């Protein structure tokens, strides 16, 4: 890799974290690239010399244990060239990732974006269910879990009256203490200068949120040209359409990078209790004053959280959401632990079976 190619990689987010991993591999055999498009295991990569289509190698498929091991948009990968296609041999360790439990009953982790510095949670202010405090709190829990900085983008401000805007802003402040909030209109440009100041050169931001909140329109406006298709919402309930079907990373004129993702219909949580604590920092602060260190905040004497509820300092809705999210996270974690233990037992059964077969062969 010459200096020009190295500088090109840096402009796409390459840094010492990935460089140190790359240096552990034999020089000249594999080249680093970033995944800029991910469509059902068909990838587009950006290397120091340009853009190319790619797929994972047979060896990669053989060693990949979980779906989350496969590359996603934002990943840095090591690959080799084969004819006109790049072959991905290795995914470098991620500095951050936004993930959720896979939809439905499957006990799997689904990663939406990797190596992101900022997770922008985008909601619409034009009515319907495009913004609710409950959905914000669920997204925020996963954003804290990702290892990136969460910010909140309240889009379509031009379609909301003053009362609706004020109410939504206050709800966002109450639901996300200490998190930066931007009220904008991607269509008119209102508030965009403040948001653009956060998107510094070399920074990677991922846009997450429901369908129809204007993520694609926001990307087009920030880019100054049409990069993504957009579509109008249903007028009956302001519900959005899935116009974005693939996860894709774009570089903006400012030098920042932004990842567009399809709207999420279902948001099942995979997170640690530390992320819940970060999302509900006001409740965690109250909990420091409970009489018992292991207080569950559900009826113990001397509970500071219950006292805050009684005097109106803490909203009942937010308290119930906090308990529900904690219970959901613990339930999902038990499911993952049980599945992991089951797979480990099956692995040892296979090992024991193979050992018996080998012993029989030795006796012959």
pLDDT band per the 50, 70, 90 thresholds, residue 334: confident
Total-model pTM = 0.82
Residues 234, 110, single domain; the answer is yes
Residue 20 is part of a domain; what is its CATH number? 2.40.50.140
Domain that holds residue 216: 97-260
Question: Which residues are within 8 A (CB) of 212 and not within 5 positions of it... i.e. 6 or more apart?
Answer: 124, 130, 233, 238, 239, 240, 241, 263
Residue 29 has pLDDT above 70, yes or no: yes
Residue 171 is part of a domain; what is its CATH number? 3.40.50.300
* pLDDT (mean) for 270-291: 87
Asked whether residue 169 is assigned to any structural domain, the reply reads: yes
For residue 33, what is the DSSP state? Answer: E
pLDDT band per the 50, 70, 90 thresholds, residue 339: low
Asked whether residue 321 is assigned to any structural domain, the reply reads: no
Residues 49, 101, single domain; the answer is no
Q: Which helix (H) or strand (E) holds 86?
A: strand 85-91
Residues 73, 208, single domain; the answer is no
Residues 113, 255, single domain; the answer is yes
Residues 40, 106, single domain; the answer is no
What's the confidence (pLDDT) of residue 237?
A: 44
Cβ proximity of 34 and 22 under 8 Å: no
Query: For the segment 128-167, what is each residue's pLDDT rounded down to a tens digit?
Result: 667 889 889 989 998 998 899 999 999 999 998 889 899 9
pLDDT band per the 50, 70, 90 thresholds, residue 289: very high
Asked whether residue 254 is assigned to any structural domain, the reply reads: yes
Asked whether residue 289 is assigned to any structural domain, the reply reads: no
Residues 252, 196, single domain; the answer is yes
What's the confidence (pLDDT) of residue 68?
A: 86
62-71, 172-181, 235-244: the lowest-pLDDT one:
235-244
Q: Which helix (H) or strand (E) holds 348?
A: helix 316-363
Number of domains within the chain: 2
d(CA 341, CA 82): 39
Query: For the segment 70-89, what is each residue's pLDDT rounded down to a tens digit?
Result: 999 999 999 998 877 889 99
Residues 171, 32, single domain; the answer is no
Residue 21 has pLDDT above 90, yes or no: yes
Residues 192, 133, single domain; the answer is yes
Asked whether residue 66 is assigned to any structural domain, the reply reads: yes
Residues 33, 123, single domain; the answer is no
Quick count: other Cβ atoms within 10 Å of Cβ 57? Answer: 16
DSSP 126-167: SSTTS--HHHHHHHHHHHHHHTSEEEEEEE-GGGS-HHHHHH
pLDDT band per the 50, 70, 90 thresholds, residue 269: confident
Residues 244, 120, single domain; the answer is yes
Write down the mean pLDDT value for the chain.
85
Asked whether residue 293 is assigned to any structural domain, the reply reads: no
d(CA 263, CA 148): 19
Domain boundary among 229, 260, 291: 260
Residues 119, 197, single domain; the answer is yes
């Amino acid at each position: 890799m010459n200096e020009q190619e190295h500088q090109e990689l840096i402009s796409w987010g390459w840094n010492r974290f990935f460089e140190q991993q790359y240096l552990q591999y034999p020089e000249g055999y594999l080249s680093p690239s970033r995944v800029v498009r991910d469509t059902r295991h068909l990838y587009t990569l950006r290397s120091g010399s340009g853009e190319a289509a790619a797929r994972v190698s047979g060896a990669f498929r053989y060693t990949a244990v979980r779906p989350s091991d496969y590359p996603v948009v934002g990943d840095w990968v090591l690959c080799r060239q084969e004819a006109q296609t790049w072959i991905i041999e290795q995914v470098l360790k991620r500095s951050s990732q936004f993930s959720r439990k896979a939809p439905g009953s499957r006990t799997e982790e689904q990663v939406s974006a990797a190596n992101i510095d900022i997770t922008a949670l985008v909601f619409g202010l034009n009515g319907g269910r495009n913004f609710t405090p409950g959905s914000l709190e669920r997204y925020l829990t996963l954003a804290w879990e990702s290892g990136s900085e969460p910010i909140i983008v309240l889009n379509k401000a031009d379609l909301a009256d003053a009362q609706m805007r004020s109410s939504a802003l206050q709800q966002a402040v109450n639901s996300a203490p200490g998190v930066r909030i931007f009220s904008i209109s991607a269509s008119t440009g209102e508030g965009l200068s403040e948001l653009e100041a956060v998107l510094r050169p070399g920074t990677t931001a991922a846009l997450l949120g429901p369908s129809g909140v204007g993520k694609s329109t926001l990307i087009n406006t920030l880019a100054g040209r049409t990069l993504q298709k957009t579509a109008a919402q249903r007028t009956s309930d302001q519900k959005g359409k899935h116009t974005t079907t693939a996860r894709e990373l774009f570089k903006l004129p400012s030098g920042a990078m932004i990842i567009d993702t399809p709207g999420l219909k279902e948001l099942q949580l995979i997170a640690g209790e530390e992320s819940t604590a970060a999302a509900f920092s006001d409740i965690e602060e109250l909990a420091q004053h409970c009489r018992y260190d292991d207080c569950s905040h559900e009826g113990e004497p001397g509970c500071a959280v219950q006292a805050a509820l009684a005097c109106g300092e803490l909203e009942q809705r937010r308290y119930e959401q906090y308990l529900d999210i904690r219970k959901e996270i613990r339930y999902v974690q038990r499911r993952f632990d049980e599945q992991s233990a089951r797979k480990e037992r099956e692995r040892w059964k296979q090992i024991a079976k193979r050992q018996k077969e080998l012993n029989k062969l030795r006796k012959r």
